[in-house]
Amino acid sequence: MNQPSAEDEVYLRVATIGAARGLAGQVRLRLHTDDPRTRLATGTLLSTEPAAVGPLQVASIRQVQQHWYATFAGITDRTGAEALRGVVLLAAPDESEPEAWYPHQLAGLRAERADGTLLGSIDGVQHLPAQDALVLHEVGGQRTLVPFVTAIVPVVDVPGGRVVLDPPTGLLASDPDERGGQR
């Protein structure tokens, strides 16, 4: 089976494969989606990073307490499961999801305060362990990671080409430090 190439379509991280569990090829997943039951449904064919490992077809998916586990077609033992550790599972974006924005949609958006003051532009999204962060290229050239949470990013207007930021004092690199100078 051939995987679609990056030039064909933008693919998004759905999950990263973690440690093997048991002897029958089951692996633990670190999710990068809010909808694992749909995005990782049995029978779903997923592209992979690195591409040479895939594509992988989900044979089963289940949740045990707060953890998610999957098996893949053709992976039937612990050795095969261990070889998948660290592989990133990729899928086409689901643009119909309400309140969901993808890195390719956010890159290039104008970043401004609620009063319209230009702060810079969004270079992309960085996926951090605790939460995602917008990569802000400030007007002065500084690079700042802005936590992608509603309290700090209250408005995402993809059609309008902008995001509104309400950063706490000291978050932006261009904010003055305690002595009155820039950081």
Count CB neighbours of 36 within 10 A: 17
Chain segment 26-85, per-residue pLDDT in tens: 999 998 777 888 889 999 999 999 999 889 999 999 999 989 999 999 999 999 999 999
With a cut of 70, say whether residue 182 has pLDDT above it. Answer: no
pLDDT band, very low/low/confident/very high, at 96 (cuts 50, 70, 90): low
pLDDT band, very low/low/confident/very high, at 5 (cuts 50, 70, 90): very low
**pLDDT at residue 1, rounded to an integer:** 40
Please name the residue that has the structure tokens 């990569």: 135
**pLDDT at residue 104, rounded to an integer:** 76
With a cut of 70, say whether residue 138 has pLDDT above it. Answer: yes
Least confident of 72-76, 89-93, 111-115, 177-181: 177-181
Angstrom distance (rounded) from CA 170 to CA 167 = 8
pLDDT band, very low/low/confident/very high, at 99 (cuts 50, 70, 90): low
Angstrom distance (rounded) from CA 73 to CA 142 = 46
**pLDDT at residue 98, rounded to an integer:** 56
Angstrom distance (rounded) from CA 67 to CA 22 = 15
pLDDT band, very low/low/confident/very high, at 7 (cuts 50, 70, 90): very low
Angstrom distance (rounded) from CA 89 to CA 72 = 11
Say if residue 147 is exposed, middle or buried (CB neighbours under 10 Å; 0-12, 13-18, 19+). Answer: middle
**pLDDT at residue 12, rounded to an integer:** 77
Q: Using a pLDDT cut of 90, give the percent of the chain over it.
A: 50
